[in-house]
């Protein structure tokens, strides 16, 4: 019998939803035979407060599987997430925004009020209007990952997540077994040539081209970290590799850490500093160390920098 499933998106760019669609042909039997989708704003018109707005409380139908994407950064996200937790037996956080705050949690590195004012008084189409305070959900004090607000049963990171593993999570839940997912680091799935030591003592900026022979296989390219680039493969969870090569490395671009830390609760910033040192690279040569948390700024990892107040000299 098909398993009732509800999907929801919170602070999402919809890339995770595109990743679900990118399951491709295998998605058809999933949505026609395996799953009975009872709620999915992406696919169907289902109102939160009754079809004609007659309801007084936010309601999502009961489901066995719940899948949420996106971070939690306003009151609406929070209420929708709490309702999903109440109505779904198993709740899956899908994508790095849902599991670690993702790109939106970069905002945690600044004062929230200043950030909102910055957005609505500069890049807004009506800069004079300021920060809206009616008809939009009020922002929370910072950007949260889903598991900071409700119990999450399963996490599948990635920005976006790998469609192959989204399908594996769905099928495993429907079959009542544990999913078979990667558990190691991006480096463990990378075939770049490693010699155990860096070739430079300072981090190179990516405006300098990496060294590789055009057309030659990845096995013949020296590891990008050993070349001196900030490749976060050692501190990032595996899962993006296709045909045996991690996504960015196949394009000869350093890993930026989008699948989050290898272990739950891991800190990519600290681990990366250790990775640089063990390759003989001076960690102080990293221009903006906090940018290493660009995908994982929730869970209190990224906080506003205290302002240095210049003392006036008389």
Q: What's the closest the beta carbon of residue 192 comes to ligand SF4, in angstroms?
A: 4
Alpha carbons 252 and 127: distance in angstroms, whole number: 40
Based on CB atoms, which residue is closest to ligand SF4, 59 or 149?
149
Q: What's the closest the beta carbon of residue 229 comes to ligand SF4, in angstroms?
A: 8
Alpha carbons 130 and 124: distance in angstroms, whole number: 9
Q: Do β-strands 139-144 and 72-74 pair in parallel, antiparallel, or remain unpaired?
A: antiparallel
Structural element, H or E, at residue 170:
helix 163-175
Structural element, H or E, at residue 165:
helix 163-175
DSSP codes of every residue in 186-202: GGGG---B--SS-S-SS
Based on CB atoms, which residue is closest to ligand SF4, 117 or 220?
220
Is residue 256 within 8 A of residue 294, CB to CB? The reply is yes
Based on CB atoms, which residue is closest to ligand SF4, 3 or 20?
20
Contact residues toward ligand SF4 (CB under 6 A) are 12-13, 15-16, 69-70, 95-97, 102-103, 159-160, 186-187, 190, 192, 194, 223-225, 231, 233-234, 236, 240, 246-249, 255-259
Based on CB atoms, which residue is closest to ligand SF4, 38 or 258?
258
Q: What's the closest the beta carbon of residue 292 comes to ligand SF4, in angstroms?
A: 12
Q: What's the closest the beta carbon of residue 62 comes to ligand SF4, in angstroms?
A: 25
Q: What's the closest the beta carbon of residue 55 comes to ligand SF4, in angstroms?
A: 27
Based on CB atoms, which residue is closest to ligand SF4, 36 or 76?
76
| Tokens describing residue 110 | 């600044």
77 alpha-carbon distance from chain centroid: 16
């Amino acid at each position: 019998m098909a398993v009732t499933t509800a999907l929801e998106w919170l602070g999402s760019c919809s890339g995770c939803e595109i990743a679900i669609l990118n399951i491709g042909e295998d998605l058809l039997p999933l949505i026609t035979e395996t799953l009975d989708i009872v709620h999915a704003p992406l696919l169907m018109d289902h109102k939160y407060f009754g079809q004609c707005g007659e309801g007084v409380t936010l309601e999502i139908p009961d489901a066995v599987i719940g899948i949420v994407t996106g971070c939690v950064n306003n009151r609406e996200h929070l209420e929708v997430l709490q309702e999903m937790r109440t109505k779904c037996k198993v709740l899956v956080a899908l994508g790095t925004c849902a599991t670690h705050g993702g790109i939106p949690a970069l905002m945690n590195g600044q004062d929230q009020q200043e950030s909102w004012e910055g957005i609505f008084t500069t890049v807004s189409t009506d800069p004079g209007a300021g920060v809206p305070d009616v008809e939009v959900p009020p922002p929370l004090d910072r950007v949260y990952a889903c598991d900071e607000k409700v119990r999450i049963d399963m996490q599948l990171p990635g920005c976006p997540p790998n469609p192959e593993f989204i399908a594996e999570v769905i099928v495993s839940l429907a079959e009542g077994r544990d999913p078979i997912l990667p558990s190691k680091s991006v480096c463990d799935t990378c075939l770049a040539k490693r010699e155990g030591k860096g070739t430079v003592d300072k981090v190179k900026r990516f405006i300098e081209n990496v060294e590789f022979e055009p057309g030659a296989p990845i096995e013949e390219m020296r590891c990008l970290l050993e070349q001196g680039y900030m490749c976060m493969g050692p501190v990032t969870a595996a899962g993006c590799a296709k045909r045996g090569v991690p996504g960015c490395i196949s394009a000869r671009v350093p890993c930026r850490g989008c699948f989050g830390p290898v272990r739950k609760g891991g800190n990519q910033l600290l681990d990366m500093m250790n990775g640089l040192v063990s390759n003989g690279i001076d960690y102080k040569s990293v221009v903006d160390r906090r940018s290493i948390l660009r995908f994982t700024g929730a869970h209190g990892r990224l906080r506003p920098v205290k302002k240095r107040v210049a003392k006036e000299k008389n």
